[in-house]
Amino acid sequence: MKLGARVFKTGVAIVLALFIAELLKLPSPVFAGIAAIFAIQPSIYRSYQTIVEQVQANIIGATIAVMFGLLFGHHVVAIGIAVIIAIGLMLKFKLEKSLSLALVSVVAIMEFQGDDFLTFGLIRFVTILVGVLAAFVVNLVFLPPKYEVKLFRKIYILQDDIIRWTRLAVRQASEHTSTKGALSKFKSRMLRVDTLYDLFKEERNYFKNKKYVKARKLVVYRQMILTSKKSLELLQRLHKHENELAQLPTQFHLMIQERLDSLLTYHEQLLLKYTGKLKPEHSQWSKSIDYVQRNELMEIFIKQVNFAREEGDMEFSSYHLLYILSRILDYEENLEHLDTLIVSYQSHHGHEINVEFEEEFI
């Protein structure tokens, strides 16, 4: 079991909310704890965004609850109708993220059966507000996780796995079901990478020079993620057309295999280069004289198609092979663009490479 920073912050926020509620002698402090659960956020920026919405949600929920309580009493049907109206208003004002808190406010206030309903409603409103503010304070006090290191680690490990499976796939060495299962996991892991990128993007820098560095980093990471997605698309094509790949002429199959091996090694080196582990000139190895250029590869492909037709080879599927080649060339172009961005970033901000990369990626 892994306990992250957000789990710890949630626990602290609940304790703080309950403590303040008890200190203020608010009845049912548990509602402050519940509100704190909904209000905790993974970053300070999101906390700023959320607190306004959470306060608005609490106001909407409390207002509807008081109105329905005074007009229709506390019957369960009245509570249900109040909840429906609260949901409609929250959607109307585009406050979907705080919908749960608004519903908690409605139910927490309307469950009261006594006479002094307005006072009770105000107390419950304040109790829930205490929970929201407690979560906000915890988000401010606790340092947010270092999303850049987490993001690069996720990309690095995910890409390493994709490269391993691609090398197996192009050699027809992977088992079909195992590759299918791996592809499914890669897609979900890629979604987590996108989430981390968004969190890293939302981190705020308060120094002007750092903002320029951050802007360049975001461009590099966006291309890094896009290139990983292209490599994943290529692996999907190799898996989908594995039968057509197996029927290729040996020489052409070997040429594709060698090219892919070169590109995958190139990708590994680019990730190392970003961490400062690789000399900049090593990115130029792909431009060597022996390297088949893109236009030459397509000419070889066309010649192979014509040769197969002349020989009457009905098993040679040029249509599906074109899909694979297009993915390879697309992947290659994105790798070259990533290389350009990394070189540009290091030439301007080489001294800004995260020191923690030196410790983690050796």
Does residue 309 sit within a domain?
A: yes
pLDDT value for 116: 82
pLDDT value for 286: 47
Mean pLDDT along residues 347-354: 65
Give the global pTM: 0.74
123 with 149, same domain: the answer is no
Does residue 124 sit within a domain?
A: yes
pLDDT value for 289: 40
Confidence label for 321 from pLDDT (cuts 50, 70 and 90)? confident
Does residue 245 sit within a domain?
A: yes
187 with 63, same domain: the answer is no
130 with 275, same domain: the answer is no
According to the per-residue pLDDT averaged within each range, which of 59-73, 197-211, 297-311, 340-354 is highest? 59-73
217 with 296, same domain: the answer is yes
3-state secondary structure string across 334-354: HHHHHHHHHHHHHHHHHHHCC
Could you report the per-residue pLDDT of 208-244, keeping only the tens digit for each? 566 778 888 999 999 999 999 999 999 999 998 888 7
Mean predicted lDDT score pLDDT of the chain: 82
The enclosing domain of 288 has a CATH number of 1.20.58
35 with 110, same domain: the answer is yes
Domain end call among 108, 139, 170: 139
Does residue 362 sit within a domain?
A: no
pLDDT value for 346: 82
Confidence label for 296 from pLDDT (cuts 50, 70 and 90)? low
Number of domains in the chain: 2
pLDDT value for 94: 87
210 with 108, same domain: the answer is no
What percentage of the chain carries pLDDT values higher than 70?
Answer: 80
Confidence label for 298 from pLDDT (cuts 50, 70 and 90)? low
Could you report the per-residue pLDDT of 10-45, keeping only the tens digit for each? 899 999 999 999 999 998 899 999 999 988 887 777
pLDDT(107) > 60: yes
pLDDT(174) > 90: no
Residue pair 221/197 in contact by the 8 Å Cβ criterion: yes
pLDDT(302) > 50: yes
275 with 299, same domain: the answer is yes
306: Cβ contacts below 8 Å, ≥ 6 apart:
none
Maximum C-alpha span of the chain:
94
What percentage of the chain carries pLDDT values higher than 90?
Answer: 40
pLDDT(251) > 80: no
Greater confidence (64 vs 306) lies with: 64
35 with 166, same domain: the answer is no
pLDDT value for 28: 87
Confidence label for 1 from pLDDT (cuts 50, 70 and 90)? very low
8 with 129, same domain: the answer is yes
300 with 336, same domain: the answer is yes
pLDDT value for 307: 57
Domain end call among 82, 117, 139: 139
Greater confidence (90 vs 297) lies with: 90
| Residue 129 structural domain | 3-139
Could you report the per-residue pLDDT of 44-98, keeping only the tens digit for each? 777 777 888 889 999 999 999 999 888 888 788 889 999 999 999 999 988 888 8
100 with 187, same domain: the answer is no
151 with 134, same domain: the answer is no
